[in-house]
Amino acid sequence: MLYETEEAHRAVAKTARDMPPSKTDYAIDARGLHKIYRAQKGQPAKEALGGIDLRVKRGSIFALLGPNGAGKSTFINILGGLTIKSGGRVRIWGFDIDVNPREARAAIGIVPQELHIDPFFTPREILDLQAGLYGVPRRERRTDEILRLLSLEDKADAYSRTLSGGMRRRLMVMKAMVHAPPILVLDEPTAGVDIELRRQLWAHVRQMNAEGVTIILTTHYLEEAEALCDRIAIIDDGAVIAEGATSDLVGQMDAKQLVITPEARLARVPSMPPDVEARLDGEGRLRVHYHPRSVKMAVILSALSDAGVVVADMTTREPALEDLFVRLTRGAGGSDSSDGGDFFGGEI
């Protein structure tokens, strides 16, 4: 539950229904957002957000992508009023959370990372209860519509304890939507969820977005951000290290590595097609770096064959999110060190 008292819920729900269109193009506008968790028994203070700027356009599906501990949930929980920021400003749907907290909170529905569902209530009861807490009048309730939107009509009257994991997760999404917020935030919606359920959830998210809901989700799966989101902010250690259109960011990862073990030790690096870099490593393997969008592997292999190289073994390596992190935090362009674990220099 987001708010302490029923009155608070009521007040919020009323403003949600009376919500004027956003005064800005941004659903979320955070500036210099800062969070320090105070030191606790044995634990030192932790700066979870180091003053980040982040804007999310209305109507988008936006991913906050980053490894565990990056600060994603901290950011989300500040938006939802569950965590108090240490500094900076946040506007939700144009409302400053310090100046118009009620309107700001009414504009957003948060699906937290952990699932809490009362096993002895049915989905319909849970949604009705939540709508009641938000003070949504009966005639304005959208229980059936929400059940339909998330494909849970069949289970509307079943005990929640009989629901599968995926259904429970959808129920949490529905709870966040009873007050019809224009912004829906999903914190790690598919962590620990199998591939089939993940795809179902993606379909629901897309549908809600098509109905006009601005979606923000956190994830540590690059694939999820790539498949679902039009923009991605990569967050690491409390800082935004990259932000942009999904296609631009993924384009930065148009890089692949081939590691070739030749039959006979090579005296020198064979000549390679343009835009392909090759070097010999300490073990006599040839490491070839190329951009698969513009250079086909077959071209590289035929160049090797032309140079008389007989391939005994070959492996490829795709860049992973961590590699992008490493590259971004080291500055643009690939490093060529052979000590780190990054894509351009790492071991396989």
Ligand X SMILES: Nc1ncnc2c1ncn2[C@@H]1O[C@H](COP(=O)(O)OP(=O)(O)O)[C@@H](O)[C@H]1O
Interface contacts to ligand X, rule CB under 6 A: 37, 46, 48, 66, 68-74
Q: Which amino acid, residue 127? A: L
Residues in contact with Mg ion by CB under 5 A are 72-73, 113
Interaction partner, residue 57 (Mg ion, ligand X, none; CB < 5-8 Å by kind): none
Tell the smallest beta-carbon distance from residue 238 to Mg ion (Å): 13
User: Tokens 């391939």 map to which residue?
Assistant: 311
Q: Work out what residue 94 binds among ligand X, Mg ion, none; the CB cut-off runs from 5 to 8 Å by kind.
A: none
Question: Shortest distance, CB of residue 30 to Mg ion, whole angstroms?
Answer: 17
Shortest CA distance to 51 belongs to which of 309, 237, 260? 237
Rg over CA atoms, the chain:
25
Q: Which does residue 68 bind out of ligand X, Mg ion, none, counting CB within 5 to 8 angstroms by kind?
A: ligand X
Contact 231, 77 (CB under 8 A): no
Which residues, 6 or more positions from 228, have their beta carbon under 8 angstroms from its beta carbon? 61, 63, 202, 205, 206, 217
CA angle 253, 258, 262 (to 5 degrees): 170
> What is the closest distance, in whole angstroms, from the C-beta atom of residue 130 to ligand X in the complex?
24
Select 106 or 235, whichever has its Cβ closest to Mg ion. 235
CB of 86 to ligand X, least distance (A): 12
Helix axes 165-177, 123-133, angle to 10 degrees: 20
- CB under 5 to 8 A by kind: which of ligand X, Mg ion, none does 69 bind? ligand X
Instruction: Closer to ligand X by CB, 155 or 169: give it.
Output: 169
Q: Which is nearer to ligand X, 33 or 70 (CB)?
A: 70
Q: Give min distance, CB of 106 to ligand X, in A.
A: 24
Give the span between the Cα atoms of 73 and 196, in whole angstroms: 25
Nearest residue (CB) to ligand X, 234 versus 258? 234
